[in-house]
């Protein structure tokens, strides 16, 4: 799947050595269309974990500079709207075929959960035949 290829390239830009949790890409219905239409998108959520927080912060910086070099336009670079206000980068691919949402979840703000970089790549909506 092309979404998984985009995800792989994002992983290469991040250049983190650690564990990757990958649920695999899945097809989901686009919610902004009539439910009787066959309009879908592909969603690929995964994460980096078992990496020191400082290395994850460096990876976010590599993504911040590397994504534009690879044809991605950063449309948000700040914090998310969670109580922890996690660092978040949202980018769209050239031509907007894909979008990626990257969040650094810091274990110091989430209690017992380990730090991780949460990555979600989604395709544009498409009509199935």
Q: Please state the pTM of the whole predicted model.
A: 0.89
* Number of structural domains in the chain: 1
Best CA proximity match to 21, nearest among 115, 89, 112, 110? 115
> Does residue 36 carry a pLDDT above 70?
no
Residues 6+ apart with CB under 8 A from 118: 45, 47, 101, 102, 103, 105
CA distances from 37 to 29, 92, 119, 123, 129 (A): 9, 25, 28, 17, 10
Domain that holds residue 14: 2-127
The CATH number linked to 93 is 3.30.310
pLDDT tens sequence across 75-125: 999 999 998 899 999 999 988 799 999 999 988 887 777 899 999 999 998
Q: Are 3 and 121 in contact (CB under 8 A)?
A: yes
Q: Are 5 and 11 in contact (CB under 8 A)?
A: no
């Amino acid at each position: 799947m092309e979404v998984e290829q985009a995800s792989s390239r994002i992983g290469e830009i991040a250049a983190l050595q650690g564990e990757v949790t990958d649920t695999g890409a899945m097809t989901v219905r686009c919610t902004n269309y009539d439910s009787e239409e066959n309009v879908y998108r592909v969603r690929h959520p995964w994460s980096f974990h078992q990496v020191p927080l400082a290395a994850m912060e460096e990876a976010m910086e590599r993504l911040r500079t590397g994504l534009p070099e690879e044809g991605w336009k950063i449309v948000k670079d700040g914090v998310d709207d969670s109580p922890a206000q996690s660092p978040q980068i949202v980018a769209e691919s050239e031509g907007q075929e894909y979008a990626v949402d990257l969040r650094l979840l810091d274990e110091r703000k989430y209690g017992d959960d380990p730090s991780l970089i949460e990555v979600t790549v989604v395709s544009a909506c498409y009509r199935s035949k």
